[in-house]
Amino acid sequence: MSHSHTHTSARRPLAIALALILGLMAGEVVFGFAAGSLALLADAGHMLTDAVALGLALVAATYANRPPRGRWTFGFRRLEILAAHANGMLLVAVGVVIVYTAVRRLIDPPEVRGGIVLAVALVGIAVNLVAASLLHRPSRDSLNVRGAFLHVATDLAAFAGTAVAGAIILATGWNRADPLASLVVAGLIFWSSVSLLLESSRILLEVAPEEPREVAEAMLAVPGVTDVHDLHVWTVGSGFPSLSAHVLVEPGADCHAIRQELATMLQGRFDLGHSTLQVEHAPTRSRKPGLPLVRR
């Protein structure tokens, strides 16, 4: 699937999911205050980050499809990664607030109307199931959409916990079930944020998606290649890994044919479809001292 098609196909499910989440969030705020439920208000706070996450993802998916221009030689693909990173930080902030409020309510639990909590949570489960199903497929190809999907999937699990809390309160009157459910929400939020921040940070720091030495050894195994150095492997954006390298080949070898063979191998074996290879003949005399990555 091409990069542009991935971004285009992601915009519609992102827009529909955003509309669903905004509608549910508004209802949850209203009924959360009516029921005196921190779990519902915690979910609403998390869903605010969901709405922001989906909005950021939608904007990033739209701009990432724009062609390179001027000084933006890679286009706007990195916007997707910045959006995912911002979503991770938003999740952390909301989780901290929920933990603080939940601890206070565990010490002094207010009255909670379990029936309202249970009813709203069941509606939330249904809405988030629809939103998650819309985002599941495009989330496989885009870290940006995966960030939005994690927000929605976390809310789905949180609503399940909130429904259990509402049922317990309705059956037993034990109001501490509500802040305990909100702590479960916070735990899910922190888990989601860590995975997003780690993956987006690796891309922003340009950590190689593949082991460079393994890539270099595979290149060196191509007949005619004698030296591979100045090898760099990084990820520009979701589904867009890149490679650049200086390759020396045997004197008299066909540089153009070897370059094509290397590019085909990198694409097929490592999924490195965007490679920039400087291929030159090795000098007949001894090579000047240097620090090649791999040498035949």
HEC letters along 104-139: HHHHCCCCCCHHHHHHHHHHHHHHHHHHHHHHHHHH
Task: Map residue 234 onto helix, strand or coil.
Answer: strand
In this structure, is the dihedral angle defined by the CA atoms of residues 72, 62, 47 and 159, taken in order, positive or negative?
A: negative
d(CA 126, CA 145): 20
Record the tokens describing residue 159, joined without a space. Answer: 């609503």
Residues 9 and 139 reside in one and the same domain:
yes
Tens-binned pLDDT, residue by residue, of the chain (296 aa): 444 444 556 788 888 988 998 988 888 788 878 777 766 676 677 677 778 878 888 888 787 777 777 777 777 778 878 888 887 887 788 788 888 888 888 888 777 777 877 888 888 889 989 988 888 888 777 777 887 787 788 778 777 877 888 888 888 888 788 788 888 878 888 887 888 899 889 888 888 887 888 999 999 999 999 999 999 999 887 678 899 999 999 998 899 999 999 999 999 999 888 899 999 998 875 444 444 455 55
At 35, the amino acid letter reads: A
Residues 176 and 278 reside in one and the same domain:
no
Residues 141 and 277 reside in one and the same domain:
no
Residues 63 and 135 reside in one and the same domain:
yes
Count of domains for the chain: 2
At 45, the amino acid letter reads: G
Residues 199 and 225 reside in one and the same domain:
no
d(CA 31, CA 73): 49
Structure confidence by residue, pLDDT tens digits, 104-160:
888 887 777 778 778 888 888 899 899 888 888 887 777 778 877 877 887 787 778
Residues 199 and 261 reside in one and the same domain:
no
Residues 198 and 256 reside in one and the same domain:
no
Residues 188 and 50 reside in one and the same domain:
yes
Q: Which of 152, 141, 120, 119 is nearest to 16 (CA)?
A: 152
Per the structure, the complete domain to which residue 228 belongs is given by: 212-295
Residues 192 and 238 reside in one and the same domain:
no
Task: Map residue 245 onto helix, strand or coil.
Answer: strand
Domain boundary among the residues 204, 230, 248 is at: 204
At 280, the amino acid letter reads: E
d(CA 162, CA 121): 6
